[in-house]
């Protein structure tokens, strides 16, 4: 009832984790078996290990957060050596989220991941927390198309392109990614935001600005998934503020074929499981035989 | 398997105008906790993030927490009443206070402000001398509790209203001169931790500090709560929630 197909890869259910909120799964495996989820999307990887930004790296906002982690990760080699064998013990799909600060970085990391034992690659061209690269790649359609097509040539694995919401027209970027050869689109990454401590007149985040996520961004994410699903012919992984199964169903009706849970984990480590169970219950109640039947079924005025 | 716990509030009372003591019925957490660990508490539906609060003491399945109102989350917490139910994640943290069970020498505990509470469970568990730093006389939380378990408890206040006028540095260096300690364990503001770590280093005594950082998940997955540490010749951003909150002071890169 819950299985979904994304570019030839079958997920047992449409619920995955959002990159960067779940580490490599080790911590949440203390709460439930990782095999309960459709896929695990791991912390954003770079060619070399990265220390990330100076803390504070998190600020609370009305029903949301800002983060400025800055892609702290052990580097792709260590991931391949230590984390893939761990994740492979579980009956779930592995998505490797990859970032670079130059075109060469992106190509080199893609080559390494192509021969690694992961199921899908997610090209992060939307990280707002690193100075070079990241979001800079994801906000100009011509750059997106050339980067995606260059990366496309380096791998046979299904390629997800993760879009930044920090653009005027997300459908332009989505079409550019499709033209470059993306198999799947995922959205949204975080929205650039800022908070200031009025006593010290200092930003809360040491990086001054950071990426906003959590329930507060949910309507924006729904809108963008809706727009993008109508602009391209690719499956979509919808995320941004999903914290309940109702949010997940809404996101799927807007056009998402699968969904990711991120910030909601900080409140409730069990959130992805509850989302999955709620979707199943909803399908049963609605007489839906496979969850994919609800995708894009919103009836706009 | 780990889980969040719904815990009944047994009591919530003011210790000072801004400090509160919360007692929770939390057997699963209390029975598993060791000194230095913390819990991550959901503070109502209008706050997305949980708030980290140190475990002050555990007894017979009860959890005692002492906190100061700093913002909206702790203010919400201070208004809980007996019978209310809290959503508590914990006990958290794998970096904890070492207790040196084989060593008969006392440890020196140094606490500042809301860094005082987590040291109480150490003072209850083994011989200890204690230095507590407060803003003023009115802010002297848990003083009597420490007096009940240690025969040496010294105070420093910022305004000189009680004990040494100024920081904990003076009493700490005096005690380090006079006694042989197996270790110094400290929790409080960063400048205090750094000063204490320097004093301990000068005496070649191992020092452990409990670090504070803003947190997201609280379980080690999101990497927002980091503290820079050194391991041989390479530096790493360790997770305060998982690798800490207590770190060996000579691993901490002070910045
Ligand atoms: C491991 C650990 C143990 C702690 N133990 C205690 C304790 O026993 N007693 C006590 O009074 N305080 C303790 N603190 C500090 C306490 O967590 C903060 O005072 C509290 O989170 C402030 O929340 P707020 O909503 O009142 O403030 P706000 O400023 O409204 O909080 C906004 C956000 O910033 C975070 N934040 C703000 N200040 C701090 C801070 N100093 N440290 C960490 N996060 C912060 C909050 O958690 C929240 O996410 C501890 C902190 C840590 C990291
Ligand atoms: C702490 C944190 C770290 C993140 N790190 C990454 C990352 O490494 N790569 C990436 O593509 N997205 C990253 N994101 C973005 C999330 O994957 C997701 O797109 C976004 O948070 C919106 O979903 P949410 O509201 O459910 O969290 C991060 C988000 C958070 C909160
Ligand atoms: S709060 Fe998420 S890693 Fe520490």
Range B207-216 average pLDDT: 98
Question: pLDDT-derived band of residue A134, with 50, 70 and 90 as boundaries?
Answer: low
Range B205-217 average pLDDT: 98
Which residue among A74, A95, A190 has the greatest number of ligand 2 atoms within 8 angstroms of its CB, and so is best to mutate? A190
Domain presence at residue A68: yes
Report how far residue B71's alpha carbon sits from residue B61's, in angstroms, rounded to the nearest whole number.
29
Range in A98-107, A200-209, B82-91 the model is least confident about: A98-107
Residues B12 and B66 in one domain: yes
Q: Is B237 in the pocket of ligand 3 (CB under 6 A)?
A: no
- Residue A133 predicted with pLDDT over 90: no
User: Cβ contact (<8 Å) for B46 and A63?
Assistant: yes
Q: For strand B62-68 and strand B57-59, is the pairing parallel, antiparallel, or unpaired?
A: antiparallel
Q: For strand A209-213 and strand A236-238, is the pairing parallel, antiparallel, or unpaired?
A: unpaired
Domain presence at residue B9: yes
Range A117-123 average pLDDT: 98
Ligand nearest to the CA of B49: 1
User: Cβ contact (<8 Å) for B223 and A55?
Assistant: no
Residues B142 and B246 in one domain: yes
Question: pLDDT-derived band of residue A138, with 50, 70 and 90 as boundaries?
Answer: confident
Domain presence at residue B97: no
Averaged confidence pLDDT in chain A = 96
Residues B23 and B117 in one domain: no
Domain of residue B126: give its range.
Answer: 107-251
Report how far residue A27's alpha carbon sits from residue B62's, in angstroms, rounded to the nearest whole number.
26
**CATH at A219:** 3.20.20.70
Residues B134 and B190 in one domain: yes
pLDDT tens readout for residues B212-240: 999 999 999 999 999 999 999 899 999 99
Question: pLDDT-derived band of residue B14, with 50, 70 and 90 as boundaries?
Answer: very high
Domain of residue A113: give its range.
Answer: 4-294
Higher confidence at residue A156 or residue A136? A156
| Structure confidence at residue A290 (pLDDT) | 97
Q: What is the ipTM of this complex?
A: 0.95
Is A283 annotated as catalytic?
Answer: no
Domain presence at residue A299: no
Which residue among B218, B227, B229 has the greatest number of ligand 3 atoms within 8 angstroms of its CB, and so is best to mutate? B218
| SS3 state at B189 | coil
**Closest among A96, A115, A118 to A20, alpha carbons compared:** A96
B92: tokens are 């958290």
Domain presence at residue B100: no
Domain presence at residue B111: yes
B2, B41, B71, B221, best to mutate vs chain A, most A CBs in 10 Å: B221
User: Cβ contact (<8 Å) for A30 and B2?
Assistant: yes
Residues whose CB is less than 8 angstroms from the CB of residue A183 and which lie 6 or more positions away in sequence, other chains included:
A6, A7, A158, A159, A160, A234, A235
| Structure confidence at residue A52 (pLDDT) | 96
Residues B238 and B113 in one domain: yes
- Residue A130 predicted with pLDDT over 80: no
Which one of B38, B59, B92 terminates a domain? B92
Which residue among B73, B191, B218 has the greatest number of ligand 1 atoms within 8 angstroms of its CB, and so is best to mutate? B73
| Structure confidence at residue B152 (pLDDT) | 96
Is the CB of residue B227 less than 8 Å away from at least one CB of chain A?
Answer: yes
Residues B147 and B212 in one domain: yes
Residue nearest to atom 9 of ligand 1 (CA): B67
Range B34-50 average pLDDT: 96
Residues B49 and B141 in one domain: no
Domain presence at residue B55: yes
Domain presence at residue B56: yes
Range A113-128 average pLDDT: 92
Question: pLDDT-derived band of residue A93, with 50, 70 and 90 as boundaries?
Answer: very high
Chain A residues inside the 8 Å CB shell of B227: 55
| Structure confidence at residue B1 (pLDDT) | 60
**CATH at B140:** 3.40.50.80
Q: Ligand 1 pocket: which residues have CB below 6 Å?
A: A 60; B 38, 49, 51-54, 66-68, 70-74, 114, 117, 212-215, 245
Range B111-130 average pLDDT: 97
Averaged confidence pLDDT in chain B = 96
Domain presence at residue B11: yes
Residues B42 and B129 in one domain: no
**CATH at B8:** 2.40.30.10
Residues B71 and B173 in one domain: no
pLDDT tens readout for residues A63-77: 999 999 999 999 999
**Cα of B172 to ligand 3 centre, how many Å?**
32
Q: What angle do CA A223, A96, A252 make, to 5 degrees?
A: 25
Is the CB of residue B178 less than 8 Å away from at least one CB of chain A?
Answer: no
- Residue A11 predicted with pLDDT over 70: yes
User: Cβ contact (<8 Å) for B214 and A65?
Assistant: no
Domain count, chain A: 1
Report how far residue A212's alpha carbon sits from residue A68's, in angstroms, rounded to the nearest whole number.
9
Residues B76 and B136 in one domain: no
pLDDT tens readout for residues B43-75: 999 999 999 999 999 999 999 999 999 999 999
Enumerate helices (H) and strands (E) in chain A, giving the number of each: 10, 16
Report how far residue A285's alpha carbon sits from residue A281's, in angstroms, rounded to the nearest whole number.
6
Residue nearest to atom 12 of ligand 2 (CA): A19
Question: pLDDT-derived band of residue B34, with 50, 70 and 90 as boundaries?
Answer: very high
Domain presence at residue A185: yes
User: What string of DSSP letters covers A178-195?
Assistant: HHHT-SEEEE--PEEEE-
Domain presence at residue A300: no
| SS3 state at B218 | coil
Closest ligand 3 atom, residue B216 Cα = 1
| Structure confidence at residue B171 (pLDDT) | 97
- Residue A89 predicted with pLDDT over 60: yes
- Residue A162 predicted with pLDDT over 90: yes
- Nearest chain B residue to A266 by CA: give it: B217
Is the CB of residue B88 less than 8 Å away from at least one CB of chain A?
Answer: no
- Residue B255 predicted with pLDDT over 90: no
Least CB-CB distance to B226: which of A55, A204, A269?
A: A55
Q: List alpha helices for B33-164, DSSP H.
A: 72-78, 117-125, 143-149
Residues B85 and B124 in one domain: no
Range B169-187 average pLDDT: 97
Q: Is B171 in the pocket of ligand 3 (CB under 6 A)?
A: no
Whole-number percent of chain B with pLDDT over 90: 97
Whole-number percent of chain A with pLDDT over 70: 97
User: What string of DSSP letters covers B130-145?
Assistant: EEEEESSGGG-TTHHH
Domain count, chain B: 2
Which one of B69, B92, B115 terminates a domain? B92
Report how far residue A76's alpha carbon sits from residue B39's, in angstroms, rounded to the nearest whole number.
33
pLDDT tens readout for residues B87-103: 999 999 999 999 999 99
Range B165-174 average pLDDT: 96
| Structure confidence at residue B4 (pLDDT) | 77
Report how far residue A195's alpha carbon sits from residue A211's, in angstroms, rounded to the nearest whole number.
11
Domain presence at residue A285: yes
| Structure confidence at residue B124 (pLDDT) | 96
pLDDT tens readout for residues A208-241: 999 999 999 999 999 999 999 999 999 999 999 9
- Residue B13 predicted with pLDDT over 70: yes
Surface of B (119-148) touching A: CB under 8 A = none
Range in A132-146, A186-200, B133-147 the model is least confident about: A132-146
């Amino acid at each position: 009832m819950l299985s979904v197909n994304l570019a030839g890869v079958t997920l047992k259910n449409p619920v995955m984790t959002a990159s960067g909120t779940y580490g490599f799964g080790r911590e949440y495996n203390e709460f439930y078996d990782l095999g309960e989820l459709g896929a695990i999307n791991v912390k954003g990887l770079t060619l070399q290990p990265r220390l990330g930004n100076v803390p504070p790296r998190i600020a609370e906002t009305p029903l949301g957060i800002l983060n400025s982690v800055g892609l702290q990760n052990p580097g792709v080699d260590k991931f391949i050596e230590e984390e893939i064998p761990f994740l492979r013990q579980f009956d779930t799909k592995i998505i490797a989220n990859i970032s670079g600060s130059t075109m060469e970085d992106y190509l080199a990391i893609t080559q390494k991941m192509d021969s690694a034992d992961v199921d899908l690659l997610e090209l992060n061209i939307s990280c707002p927390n690193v100075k070079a690269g990241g979001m800079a790649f994801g906000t100009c359609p011509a750059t997106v198309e050339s980067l995606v097509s260059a990366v496309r040539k380096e791998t046979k694995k299904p390629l997800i392109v993760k879009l930044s919401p920090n653009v005027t027209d997300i459908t332009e970027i989505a079409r550019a990614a499709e033209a470059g050869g993306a198999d799947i689109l995922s959205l949204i990454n975080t929205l650039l935001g800022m908070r200031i401590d009025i006593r010290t007149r200092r930003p809360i985040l040491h990086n001054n600005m950071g990426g906003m996520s959590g329930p507060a961004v949910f309507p924006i994410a729904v809108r963008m998934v809706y727009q993008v699903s109508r602009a391209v012919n690719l499956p979509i992984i919808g995320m941004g503020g999903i914290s309940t199964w109702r949010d997940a169903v809404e996101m799927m009706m807007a056009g998402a074929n699968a969904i990711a849970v991120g910030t909601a984990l900080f409140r409730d480590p069990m959130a992805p499981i509850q989302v999955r169970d709620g979707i199943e219950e909803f399908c049963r109640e609605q007489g839906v035989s496979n969850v994919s039947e609800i995708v894009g079924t919103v009836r706009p005025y | 398997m780990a889980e969040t716990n719904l815990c009944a509030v047994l009591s919530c009372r003011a210790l000072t105008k801004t400090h509160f003591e919360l007692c929770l019925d939390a057997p699963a957490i209390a029975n598993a906790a060791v000194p230095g660990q913390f819990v991550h508490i959901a503070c109502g539906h209008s706050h997305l993030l949980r708030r980290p609060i140190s475990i002050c003491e555990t007894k017979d399945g009860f959890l005692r927490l002492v906190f100061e109102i700093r913002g909206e989350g702790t203010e919400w917490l201070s208004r809980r009443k007996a019978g209310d139910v809290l959503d508590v994640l914990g006990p958290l943290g794998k970096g904890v206070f070492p207790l040196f069970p084989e060593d008969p020498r006392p440890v020196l505990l140094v606490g500042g402000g809301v860094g005082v509470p987590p040291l109480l469970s150490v003072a209850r568990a083994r011989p200890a001398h204690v230095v507590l730093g407060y803003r003023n006389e009115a802010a002297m939380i848990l003083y009597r509790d420490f007096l009940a378990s240690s025969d040496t408890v010294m105070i420093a206040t910022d305004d000189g209203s009680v004990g040494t006028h100024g920081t904990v540095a003076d009493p700490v260096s005096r005690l380090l001169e006079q006694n042989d300690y197996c270790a110094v364990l400290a929790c409080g503001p960063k400048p205090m931790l750094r000063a204490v770590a320097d004093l301990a280093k000068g005496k070649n005594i191992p020092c452990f500090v409990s670090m504070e950082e803003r947190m997201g998940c609280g379980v080690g997955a999101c990497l927002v709560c980091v503290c820079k540490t050194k391991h041989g010749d390479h530096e790493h951003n360790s997770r305060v929630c998982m690798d800490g909150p207590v770190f060996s002071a000579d691993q901490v890169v002070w910045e």
